[in-house]
Structures are given as C-alpha cells and as structure tokens.
Amino acid sequence: MTVPEKHNRTFEALRHVHAEGGEYWSARELFPVLEYSRWEKFKQLIEKAKIACATAGATVSDHFHLEVKMVDLGSGSKREIEDYHLSRYACYLIVQNGDPSKPVIALGQTYFAIQTRRQELADDAAFKALSEEDRRLFLRNELREHNKALVETAKQAGVRTELDYAIFQNHGYKGLYGGMDAKAIHAHKGLKKNQKILDHMGSTELAANLFRATQAEEKIRRENITGKTAANSAHYEVGKKVRETIKELGGTLPEDLPCPPKGIPQIERERRMLLSNENFTLESSE
C-alpha cells in the first residue's frame, strides 16, 4: 500500500457517524494522523480554521462542535479533556491552514477538498434536480472557468508555451486516468478527430476532472511551485490523488465511464434552437 493510499484510508476510517446519521471526525484522533505531536499546537490550527470558517460566512458551531470528555489516567483516576467534533468542511479548513511542508497535510488538503466538493454537489438540491444533460452543461462551464485560472497559475509557475501547457495538462490526465494522456483517452473513448474529450464526458467524469483542475491550481498557487517540471509533477500527483479517492469510494474509474450519446456542442445547439423557436412563437402570438 502506498503512503497516499494509507492516509486516504485512515482519513476515511476516522470518520464517525452520529445516531441521527451525520458524520464527523474527532480532532483528538485526527491530530496525530496529521503528524502534530502536541494537542496545544493543533488547537492553534483549529482556531485558525474557525476564523476561516467565520470569514467564509459559515456558522462555526455547525462545523466545530466542542466536546468535553473524561479519560482514564494510568493511576486509575480520570480527568477532563476537550475535543472537537469536526465536519468534513472543518477538516478541509484545518488542512488548508496546516503546515504545507508535511506531506500528509498536502494529501489531506486534496482528500478533504475532493470530498467536500462532492458533498456540496450531493447536498445541493438544485443540482440534484437537474437532468443529466443539465448537470453536464453546468460542470462543463465550471470546468471552462477553472481551466482559465489553471492556465494563468501554470503560466506564473513557468508553463509558458502551448506545447508546455499541453504537456502540463497531460500530466494531470495521466494521474487521473492511470497513465493515459489526452491522445490515449481520446482513442480509448472512440472519439472522432475533431471531438474534444471534455465535451464527451458524463457528469461524474466531468466532476472528477473539475476536482483535478481546481486542486491542481490551488496546490501550485498555495505551495508557490515554480518551474515546468515541478508544475507537471504537481498536476500528476493531484490527478493521481483524485483517482485514488474514486477507487477508495468504490466508484467507476474515469476511463471506464461511458461516453454520453450527445456531445456538449450538440446539446448547446439544441438548446439554442429550442430557445430560438420559443422566441419566434412568442413574437408570432403578440
């Protein structure tokens, strides 16, 4: 088992479920996994995360629930210690504010970011109510916007030319698709020469690529990564992390997901035509 797989499984194994069905992580269980030797130092990190939570407009008590419990001492006596029941979002904020020099913190940043985003989409009633075509359109548009940010961040890191960026993108794809670059994915999916792979993905596959793009951009920016080689490596590692998380959750790997019957351009054309017909009908009735 690789180190990333070990920590991913540990993060998931530490997840508790309330009697009413809600999930949480114990801060006391989490801090040694994140390689903090002293509770006092980890508590400072929790306080930073609570500030970030409040700044984001969230209710701190919804994500950081203080618990006081009794623990046994070796002498047979007991004493009170404090703990926090942390939401997935709280864990995400903690690792985002953690020491980036710790490899496990970097792993945790990607893991909890992916899981938090998955939960946001799952909990979003409006998103759940969308048809598969509408989900694809929504995610494809989000991916377009986030790819712009990724291009700019990669450029600042030293990925300058179109060829540089193509190589950079392929590193992300190779991590996510088990070694397959864009050309190999294109062939594997049986797409025509002029068809873009992102336009022929279902919502699940698009979501995986959205996680890859957003987390690669954040990692490069957060860690001040410079140089083409380092940026390529970071993109590969993020893609690989997303793949490992999909495996861990029992999901279908992206290369095994089927291509939808319609590409995004066809759906967009049909929507424009429908809107045009509706407008024409409305004008004719006036």
Helix (H) or strand (E) holding 236: helix 228-248
pLDDT at 111 over 90: no
Instruction: For the beta carbon of residue 256, count every other beta carbon within 10 angstroms.
Output: 11
Q: Give the mean model confidence (pLDDT) for residues 81-88.
A: 91
Q: Give the mean model confidence (pLDDT) for residues 243-263.
A: 93
Higher-pLDDT residue of 91, 279: 91
Can you give the pLDDT at residue 110? 67
Query: In terms of Cα–Cα distance, which of 115, 98, 91, 77 is closest to 24?
Result: 91
Q: Cα–Cα distance between 204 and 139 in angstroms, integer?
A: 9
Per the CB < 8 A criterion, the answer to whether 244 and 11 are in contact is no
Q: Cα–Cα distance between 143 and 10 in angstroms, integer?
A: 30
What interhelical angle do 103-123 and 3-13 show, nearest 10? Answer: 50
pLDDT at 7 over 50: no
